[in-house]
A and B are shown apart, each in its own frame.
Chain A
Amino acid sequence: AQSVAQPEDQVNVAEGNPLTVKCTYSVSGNPYLFWYVQYPNRGLQFLLKYITGDNLVKGSYGFEAEFNKSQTSFHLKKPSALVSDSALYFCAVRDNTGGSYIPTFGRGTSLIVHP
């Protein structure tokens, strides 16, 4: 079975400060992990993913995520937040065992960047 948790419904950060959006997961095998962003009244857009290899993954718009196997986490980070980063962020996981190609999404975290 696979599951993902985003423990924060909302994250507030000042523009220019670093931001972190948390995600933890549970899988039977090895995980494939994804981050998506949803701007108001839009569909989800892919940001980045972890398959294998380097634990630090770089993605679109200056975002990066760190895979931590021991803590089963895949937190999204950005060194300097922009007001335009304000959006809803979703973490998703697929388990590479069991043959399921259907990802499980977290409930989403609303990121609010204050000017």
Chain B
Amino acid sequence: NAGVTQTPKFRVLKTGQSMTLLCAQDMNHEYMYWYRQDPGMGLRLIHYSVGEGTTAKGEVPDGYNVSRLKKQNFLLGLESAAPSQTSVYFCASSTNRGLYETQYFGPGTRLLVL
């Protein structure tokens, strides 16, 4: 099993450009999450999904959109990138068997917006 993979690993954007980050998991997990990690801020939840075709806002959703057309994939879109979106983005997944289930994280995508 590859677990959770993220594409790309690193990207540089200019302000106003758009891009899509791809997260894929091969563990048949129902729940998927997108986080951003900034120094001193820990992990902040952007959006999440509890199943194929469903998405919901997290703590910091502004400027981002998501889609979950297939169970194994969770896409994070930036429509018009801003320097404040420079961050490391992590995708995670988990089962829906219970609140005690562990999250599995991808390796991260480093995004620099100039």
Interface residue ranges, A against B (CB under 8 Å): 9, 32, 34, 36, 41-46, 49, 51, 90, 94, 96, 100-103, 105-108
A108 and B99 contacting across the interface, CB-CB below 8 Å? no
B40 and A43 contacting across the interface, CB-CB below 8 Å? no
Interface residue from A34, A102, A108 paired with B48 (Cβ < 8 Å): A102
The verdict on A45 contacting B105 (CB below 8 Å), with A90-B42, A107-B42 known, is: yes
A42 and B107 contacting across the interface, CB-CB below 8 Å? yes
Q: Give A18 Cβ to nearest chain B Cβ, in Å.
A: 25
B74 within 8 A of A: no
A43 and B4 contacting across the interface, CB-CB below 8 Å? yes
The docked-state distance in angstroms from the alpha carbon of A42 to that of B6 is: 12
Interface residue ranges, B against A (CB under 8 Å): 4, 31, 33, 40-43, 45, 48, 50, 58, 90, 92, 96, 99-100, 102-108
Interface residue from A34, A43, A108 paired with B107 (Cβ < 8 Å): A43
A44 and B90 contacting across the interface, CB-CB below 8 Å? yes
Which A residues are CB-close (under 8 A) to B42?
90, 105-108
Closest B residue by C-beta to A42: B107
The docked-state distance in angstroms from the alpha carbon of A42 to that of B50 is: 25
Closest B residue by C-beta to A47: B102
The docked-state distance in angstroms from the alpha carbon of A32 to that of B97 is: 14
Interface residue from B4, B43, B99, B108 paired with A90 (Cβ < 8 Å): B43
Closest 10 CB pairs of A and B: A43-B105, A107-B42, A105-B43, A44-B105, A51-B100, A46-B102, A32-B100, A94-B99, A43-B107, A108-B42
B103 and A46 contacting across the interface, CB-CB below 8 Å? yes
